[in-house]
Amino acid sequence: MTLQNDPSRHAEGAVDFGFDEVFFSRTDKRGVILAGNDVFQRVSGYGWGDLLGAPHKIIRHPDTPRAVFRILWDALGNGHPMGGYVKNRARNGDHYWVFGVILPMEGGYLSVRLKPSSPLFDKVRALYADLCTRERVEGLDPEASARMLWHAVTEAGFTSYTTFMASALGQELAARDIRMRRPVDPRTQRLIDLNVALEQVTQEQRKLLRSFESLQSIPNNMRLVRSRLEPSGGPVSAISENYRASSLVISERLRSFVTGRDNLCDRVSRQAARALFLLGADRVLGEMISRFRHAEPVAGIDWAAEGAGLERLRASGREDSRVALKSAVDHAEELTRSSSEIRRLMLGLDTIRVMGRVECGRLRANGGGLAATIDQLDLFHAEIKTRLETILRLSEEIGSAMSRFASTEFGAVAKR
């Protein structure tokens, strides 16, 4: 029996369908529809004769920003799976929202779509409305609109659109379980928790880098103090130069895995997000495959062949997720090692800071300016140590959690 839509979410002109219903469609490389299921046909309002051989964009609604399709096609064109919230339009002009899991496959693309209901969905609808308005009023092209969408995603705390979509898929699957009055799948919850932890550690890394950048002003302050207290080359000069050199080494080390193209943090996040998205997609594909067994015959669609194609896609997706998860585990271990190295380097900075405090004591009444500068260092160092400990803890937890998840999900295969 089809579960009915939540009445509070039903709006005039919206096509009604259940949370337990799953859309399926397959297209060629150009986006021409080659196959679909009964849910897709019924909700779209088109007959099979109108759907098969037609471009998939016949159901496109103008309230979906062009930015979304630009991001989707860029990912798919590079062979990467991607997801997205999409507002579609039925033949009679009514609309319906879906969360689509879109996967490249031999000869084209596959899309499996769910009814969205998570709190994130409400935020996305508001964002889409703003983007569509700006596209129309400002004449934004898809590229400019995509940059705005990407900026909104990063402002929300996500490091990439892939991590955003992996998080969205996990949240939609969990929300759907609740709507269907069944327990949240433990695997889905683990995916959500891992994604949250990954985003948290990346944000902590960036905050840590900003803290180190702020330290760069301290040696300059020391040199100003030195000019009033001693001739060039004295103890305060040596302390400020040593501190500057050591802090620069740490800052450069941090930048190598926090900023720049393909940095270590992004590699961890990107590979983990890819694995998590594919594992979420695996659950959706499994449900879709089971429904093919009860599909009514449709002229022009070979359900046995469609099911076999999905089985192959599911198997390759699981292998891709295994490889991505293994890569993410390796990168997470490297991240832990890098964080440990920075903690070790911080001990050297602490030694220099203590020398500055000793020099304050030697100067006594004349060392007021130096004492204030060292007080600043005390605050910065305390903040940095706290962030480092958080990063180390999270990195270790993420690596261990992903290793356990891989062992549970893939068994001995994960240890290759």
Is 328 in the same domain as 383?
Answer: yes
Domain limit, last residue, from 184, 216, 238: 184
Is 259 in the same domain as 330?
Answer: yes
Is 407 in the same domain as 262?
Answer: yes
Confidence (pLDDT) at 185:
83
Is 214 in the same domain as 230?
Answer: yes
180 confidence band (pLDDT: 50, 70, 90): very high
Indicate which CATH number applies to the domain containing 76.
3.30.450.20
Is 148 in the same domain as 201?
Answer: no
Is 7 in the same domain as 130?
Answer: yes
217 confidence band (pLDDT: 50, 70, 90): confident
Is 165 in the same domain as 292?
Answer: no
* Residue range of the domain that includes 388: 187-415
Confidence (pLDDT) at 361:
73
Confidence (pLDDT) at 15:
94
99 confidence band (pLDDT: 50, 70, 90): very high
Q: Which of these ranges, 59-68, 275-284, 372-381, has the smallest mean pLDDT?
A: 372-381
Confidence (pLDDT) at 404:
80
The distance from CA 382 to its chain's CA centroid, rounded to whole angstroms, is 30
Average pLDDT over residues 165-193: 88
Domain limit, last residue, from 184, 216, 243: 184
Is 62 in the same domain as 2?
Answer: yes
For the ranges 63-77, 280-294, 346-360, the one whose mean pLDDT is highest: 63-77
Is 198 in the same domain as 261?
Answer: yes
Instruction: Give bridge partners of residue 98 from the DSSP assignment.
Output: 86
What is the total count of domains within the chain? 2
Is the pLDDT assigned to residue 113 strictly greater than 90?
yes
260 confidence band (pLDDT: 50, 70, 90): low
Domain limit, last residue, from 127, 154, 184: 184
Is the pLDDT assigned to residue 365 strictly greater than 90?
no
Is the pLDDT assigned to residue 189 strictly greater than 70?
yes
Q: Which of these ranges, 50-59, 153-162, 242-251, 261-270, has the smallest mean pLDDT?
A: 261-270
Is 353 in the same domain as 383?
Answer: yes
Is 308 in the same domain as 210?
Answer: yes
Is 214 in the same domain as 304?
Answer: yes
